[in-house]
Structure 1
Amino acid sequence: MKYAGEILFCLAFAASALAVNSKLYKYDTAMDFSAGETENVAIDSEGTLHLNKKHKLLAEKLEDVWAVNDIVVIDGKIFAGTSPNAGLFRITEEKAENIYRSEKKEDKPVGPVKEEKSEEKDKAENSESEEKEEIVNEHIFAVEKGFNGKLTAGISGKECRILEFGKDQSNPETLCKIEDAAFIFDLQFHKGSLYAATGPNGKIFKISADGKTEVFFDSIDRGITVMAFYKDKLYAGTDKRGLLYCIDMETKKGKALFDSPEMDITSINFDDEDNIYITAAIEDPSAESKNGSDMPSYMPPHPKESEDKKEEKLFTLQNGGLRLKLAATAKKDMLERKENGGDKKEKVKSALYKIAPDGIVSVLGKGSGVFLDSIMHKGRLWVADGKDASLSQIDTDKIVIENVYRDKISSEITSLYTAGGKIYAATANPPRIIEFHDGLSSEGWWQSDTIDAKQPSKWGSVKLDGKIPEGCRIEFSARGTNVQNAREEDFTEWTKPLSAQSEEPAIEGSHRFLQLKLMLKGSENRSPKVNAAAVASVVRNIKPVVAAPMIKSEEKKTEAVIAIPAKDENDDELIFSIDIQGEDSDRWVNIEEDHKEKKFKWDTSTVPDGIYKLRVTASDRLSNGPENALESVSTETEYIVDNTPPVCSGQNVETKGTEGKVKFTLTDKYTVIGKVSYTLNSSDDWNTVIPDDLLADSKRESFTITLSGLEKGDNILAVRYADEAGNSAYERFVMEAE
């Protein structure tokens, strides 16, 4: 497919007479894309969508199984060790069959158990579902291709043992019992011997073909959870302390290569340059109540309950294919990302480490889910993440992480295995087996999370940045609703798919909420790529809303702060004009124009004292232009400007002997008389004076100060007075005592 031409990134619709407000919603990071859903589409850490690995479901109905713990491939057949009941299954493309299951009933079963019922109770409950089958407290956490290519399985439980199956995987026999263990977490066959990693005593056992068992390595750790052989050395990871040991095969001595901040090592891999890759997990504090105090917390405990304006060429030919590019956006503030649940930070539970041959450790990635397993396949590291049952492929050189699969049914991907150029993944709750091929899926889709335009809006065309090789195709579709927290039935039908170059609107009509779907179509070895996707909404301009301004005096008496309560449903940038009107005037006077803040400091010393009305006009002109701008005017607020202290009048001084009396009246034009106090003969002590009527509640008050014990001669009385606005003054009185 080839296309050449010049297309403008613009938004236009029929309602040209209306003022409009547009916003661009853009997806261009891994986090953006991951907020949506995918089918056969991978998302890498650089924020690129492309078709993922071809895969198919091999098994999904394993009877009475909660989790597949480990898998191995022998002669083209897949064998899965499961929980509970230590079930072992053989899986081919035709069917999945149970070839072994623990029959012994333990004294303390876990999980749902059969309830003993009286005859009367049986009759009362005969309409209920069938009784749940008793669960045996045994598990198969490890399966391996053992002696002579035979299937070998480790049974964890009260009687810890290793089973060996015949060539046709029938007639299992106990190869050995391991007395000093309750759990077999891993089995590895190496140079004619079988090695078992166990807990809860942290030992590795070496087993010969005739079943003889010896302790090969004894650690002080609780459990050895995983092993890997590389260049005649055995590497082992532990739980609780999160150590990685390197064990010499001759001396059987081990040294700790790495002490992980996380508590459990879950997998070990190597590349051709002798780098070691390990995954490590933090334990769940509630694990002991689920799994028992000696079992690693990342083991699946029980089934999970289901939950239901710049011109630019956007398309250019590149390498015989099509190159898509988003137009440059002139204003950064016109870009608006989706709010996908806010900024809540999830706790890191797992980490992926790279240990270089010289011992230098680097962190390749961390996750909020539990990394349950990993495997090296054709130079790429595949990591199973317990969160959302996702599977990632990592280029360890470029540190590019690509999410290649997410299981929508199971809660966790628990185990990985590679054989014959394929990768096999096992899951838990419910158990499933998936097979991955090197080729790509022929088609897939990505669906966005719900975009909220805040108001019913018209939507523009979808713009993409990406590459479309020859023979590949990208199409988009959309659906809308005006229902918040919408269910499937609340949405419109998906629109007819349009090509990536289409300039048609994503959807017709007016919708507050929108979902996009990108459909990618490719071939076995070619895939289109999407680096970014964007769509714009346009909504009729809505008037800003502005309430009556609130005014508060500052400590500086000639300053008042005007607070402007305003909002705009379009999220437009608002500017404010502030006007005042004197009490004896019909004229409004502007004191501030095009103010951008919602607070304004007014210097009241620039106007005479008096009672003023204030109003604010809010305009969205900056976001819509003069021709389309809308404005609103607030209701009026009154404010008294009083920068003058009260006037003192009616002063009268009387003295008789050593006694004296002073009378005076204070009058203020606008404000109630405030605090009045006096001091005699420059004393540091100021005494409060109460009005003659005992109430300080008016703009005119009379005061009397009576003194005794005056010193002979002149006595100076200083009176300090103020109004409620804080304007103060002093008056001086002289009293001559005899």
Structure 2
Amino acid sequence: MTGGQTNNGHPEQPVLSAPKGPHSAHRNHSSVKFQGSIARTFSFSLLLCFLTSLPLLAEHTRRWRQSTYEEFLKGTAHGVAVRSDGRLELAPKVTLLADADASYLWSVRLDPKGTLYAAGGSPAKVFRFDSNGKPTIVFDSTDLSAQAMAFDPKGALYVGTSPDGKVYRVSASGEKSVFFEPKTKYIWDLAFSPDGTLYVATGDKGQVFAVAPDGKGELFYSSDEAHIRVLAFDAKGNLIAGTEPSGRILRISRSSSKTSAKDSKDAAAAKAEGFVLYETSKREVTSLAVASDGTIYLSAIGEKPSGSRPNSPAATFRPLSPSSLQQHLPHQCRWRPGRALVFARRVSLRPWTRFRWPPAGGDRQ
């Protein structure tokens, strides 16, 4: 504090002054620096708020609706299945059963004891899987691929190979012998009827052969399709077949009428005629499975040429597997006890797209 007199004689008012010292200048500088920092921070925050609000000023609430099968397939489904009528539902659980040392698995079958077998290649091999999923080779050959399998009522294994292949019989001890040679390019599937007759689906002439237990075969059915891809029997013993390239489901029964002179030589020699149950929107029916209630499950692949649409009555098909699996090519499916389906793909045994056909009219699912 300082004091004194002014020029007019009045005493000078005391004045308080900050003490002079080495820290005084530092405090003044810090105060200015702090105020400048606040100003810069505020300016940056204001600029950031302005920039982030620009998209909000440009955007507005949008609404859209997706309800068709084609629209949903453009997305990726997780845990849901898309029906062909646009409905969504929970998808079946996908479980890995086994892996085999093969590039491709084309067919899966269960023997009379419930043991799982898988055929593939190349070269042609058939695997038997134990309860832990461990594979054992029970058949191999120099053919390119083992395309089809079947078990007779006694449990003997029959294997069809392709291309230009044969039907082999494999004994319980593992010995193989040629059972039937259809002299066709492809052997696509094998199926035993309840009376023990072996039916052989072939291509590229679209023929089905019936082979007696002694190995003597005859042409049973000749189609206008290039390939009879798969066979199955319904609960009434009717032979059901899937075709390519029209993607048809046929019911084949013994012919009750005589063929005319206009029919081809193969058609005249055939013993049966086919009835088209349904023509799918896909090119190739690769697998069939018939449940105990007569429901038919099928898998199909390939797109038909533009403008080639099925002529069958309107129907609803329901893919039962997750959409993420629909990109893989389904080849074979088999019905297992407990209403479960087993599908084969190239390396692993996994479920695939499944379609259901009710036995007595109504909507197809």
Q: 1:89 to 1:43 in 2, by over 3 A?
A: same
CA root-mean-square deviation: 3.9
Tell me the residue number matched to 2:336.
Answer: 419
Unpaired segments ≥5 residues, structure 1: 1-13, 105-136, 259-275, 278-350, 353-365, 389-395, 437-738
Tell me the residue number matched to 2:252.
Answer: 246
Aligned residues: 272
Q: 1:242 to 1:433 in 2, by over 3 A?
A: closer
Q: Among 373, 381, 396, which residue is 2:287 paired with?
A: 373
Deviation at 1:28, TM superposition (A): 3.8
The alignment partner of 1:404 has SS state of coil
Deviation at 1:217, TM superposition (A): 2.0
- Looking at structure 1, the residues matched to 294 and 319 of structure 2 have their Cα atoms a distance apart, in angstroms, of 14
1:386 and 2:301 correspond: yes
Q: 1:214 to 1:33 in 2, by over 3 A?
A: closer
Deviation at 1:144, TM superposition (A): 1.3
Tell me the residue number matched to 2:208.
Answer: 204
1:86 and 2:4 correspond: no
The alignment partner of 1:434 has SS state of coil
Q: Among 75, 99, 103, which residue is 1:36 paired with?
A: 75
The alignment partner of 1:413 has SS state of coil
The alignment partner of 1:149 has SS state of coil
Deviation at 1:407, TM superposition (A): 5.0
The alignment partner of 2:183 has SS state of coil
Higher mean C-alpha displacement, 191-200 vs 246-255: 246-255
Tell me the residue number matched to 2:260.
Answer: none
Contact 1:72 1:144 in 2 (8 A): yes
Q: 1:19 to 1:94 in 2, by over 3 A?
A: closer
Tell me the residue number matched to 1:161.
Answer: 167
Unpaired segments ≥5 residues, structure 2: 1-51, 258-269, 304-312, 353-365
Q: Among 111, 135, 146, which residue is 1:97 paired with?
A: 135
Tell me the residue number matched to 1:146.
Answer: 152
Deviations 1:498-528 (A, max 9, x none): xxxxxxxxxxxxxxxxxxxxxxxxxxxxxxx
The alignment partner of 1:32 has SS state of helix
Deviation at 1:29, TM superposition (A): 3.5
Contact 1:151 1:165 in 2 (8 A): yes
Q: Give aligned-pair identity as a percent.
A: 21
- Looking at structure 2, the residues matched to 409 and 397 of structure 1 have their Cα atoms a distance apart, in angstroms, of 23
The alignment partner of 2:60 has SS state of strand
Deviations 1:132-181 (A, max 9, x none): xxxxx422221112140233221234452322241xxx513225131533
Deviation at 1:422, TM superposition (A): 0.9
The alignment partner of 1:217 has SS state of strand
Q: 1:403 to 1:227 in 2, by over 3 A?
A: closer
Deviation at 1:424, TM superposition (A): 0.6
Contact 1:87 1:98 in 2 (8 A): no
- Looking at structure 1, the residues matched to 73 and 246 of structure 2 have their Cα atoms a distance apart, in angstroms, of 33
Deviation at 1:195, TM superposition (A): 2.0
Contact 2:102 2:120 in 1 (8 A): no
1:227 and 2:265 correspond: no
Deviation at 1:255, TM superposition (A): 2.8
The alignment partner of 1:255 has SS state of strand
Q: 1:50 to 1:379 in 2, by over 3 A?
A: farther
The alignment partner of 1:225 has SS state of strand
Larger Rg: 1
Contact 1:387 1:411 in 2 (8 A): no
Higher mean C-alpha displacement, 249-258 vs 138-147: 249-258
Q: Which amino acid aligns with 2:273?
A: K
More helix by share: 2
Contact 2:80 2:88 in 1 (8 A): yes
Higher mean C-alpha displacement, 151-160 vs 244-253: 244-253
More strand by share: 1
Q: What does 1:104-503 align with in structure 2 at a 5 Å threshold?
A: 104=142, 137-166=143-172, 170-174=173-177, 176-178=179-181, 180-190=183-193, 191-200=195-204, 202-209=206-213, 211-217=214-220, 219=222, 223-230=227-234, 231=236, 233-236=238-241, 239=244, 244=250, 246-248=252-254, 253-258=271-276, 276-277=277-278, 351-352=279-280, 366-367=281-282, 370-377=284-291, 381-386=296-301, 399=316, 401-406=318-323, 408=325, 411-420=328-337, 421-428=339-346, 431-434=347-350
